[in-house]
Structure formats: structure tokens, C-alpha cells
Amino acid sequence: MASMEKRLQKELQALTKDPPKGVRVSPDGTCRTLSEWIVDLDGAPGTLYEGEHFQLQFKFSSRYPFDSPQVTFIGTNIPLHPHVYSNGHICLSILTEDWSPALSVQSVCLSIISMLSSCTEKKRPPDNSFYVKTCSKNPKKTRWWYHDDSV
């Protein structure tokens, strides 16, 4: 537990002090508890999401960074993207089976921005309505099928 807190504290400090472009630790969420963060994301300029703002929620287990964080889009603007379900769940392999403890909140945010940026057509995943009706609240419980590397 202690090592998880120490690392999260370091990450929070670094990300607050020197965040990459388009990423901000949201002032409304994070101060309550270290194990749950809200991060504001901006759609990258020159992409389909330019000018849009999103919120990501991170939940960390006591085994972080050995276990991946639980990451979902929250709020009113869930990006319209073939890998993002309307309930905010994201199909991204680094969030489950390709997770590594060398990754961080910052690298996850940058991966998500890059995933959004390479999108060529704004649309929901084809199985969106079925998935949203049947899935667990925790996206990590979903058996994701990573078959499309183009976006």
C-alpha cells in the first residue's frame, strides 16, 4: 500500500507541475483521495477532436503500478470514437493485457490522446448498444478483443 501511495504522490506532483500539452489534473477530483483522479484532456489541434474537452477518471488499486489503473471517460462529453463506448469504457490494450508498471498516468493520457488523434471517422464501436447494456461497471472485467490497430 505504502509504495502505491508514494508512487502516486510522485506522479501527481510531476503531472501537476509539468503536464504535457492538452493534459491537466482536474482540480475538482483529485484532492479527495489519492486512489481516484480526474484528468482533463483537450482534443489535439488539427484532429477531429480539436476544441473538444474530455474528462478521464483513473481509479488505482492498492497493487498499482503492478495492476493497471481503471480508466474511463466521464462527464457529458464522451468522445465519439470507434474504441470508446458511450458509457466511457475504452478499448485500449495498455489498460489491460499490455499494461506495464513502467507506464504512468501521463503515458496513459498521451496514448489516449494519440488514439483519438489518429481517428478518421467519428463513430461508436459497432457493438456499442449491446456492450453498454451488458458490461460490468469496471472496464477491466471486460474481455477485450484487440483486433484493430488502425486507430
Partner 1 sequence: MGNCLKTPTTDDISLLRGNDSQESDPNLGPPPPYQERVPVYHPSPNVSRPANQLTEEEQIKIAKRLGLISHLPTGVYDGSVKKGKECVICMCDFVLGDSLRFLPCMHTYHKKCIDDWLMRAFICPSCMEPVDAALLTTYESS
Hey, which residues are catalytic here?
91
CB neighbourhood size of 83 (10 A)? 19
Nearest CB to partner 1, comparing residues 100 and 129: 100
Report the interface residues with partner 1, using CB under 8 A. 3, 6-7, 10-11, 63, 65-68, 96-102, 104, 140
Calculate the CA dihedral of residues 48, 124, 39, 120 and round it to 10 degrees: -20
Distance (Å, rounded) from C-alpha 86 to C-alpha 10? 32
Q: How far is the CB of 7 from partner 1 (least distance, A)?
A: 5
Contact 72, 141 (CB under 8 A): no
Three-class SS state of 3: helix
Nearest CB to partner 1, comparing residues 102 and 133: 102
Distance (Å, rounded) from C-alpha 41 to C-alpha 31? 18
Distance (Å, rounded) from C-alpha 124 to C-alpha 30? 29
Nearest CB to partner 1, comparing residues 43 and 65: 65
Q: How far is the CB of 142 from partner 1 (least distance, A)?
A: 12
Nearest CB to partner 1, comparing residues 122 and 141: 141
Q: How far is the CB of 73 from partner 1 (least distance, A)?
A: 21
DSSP state of 53: E
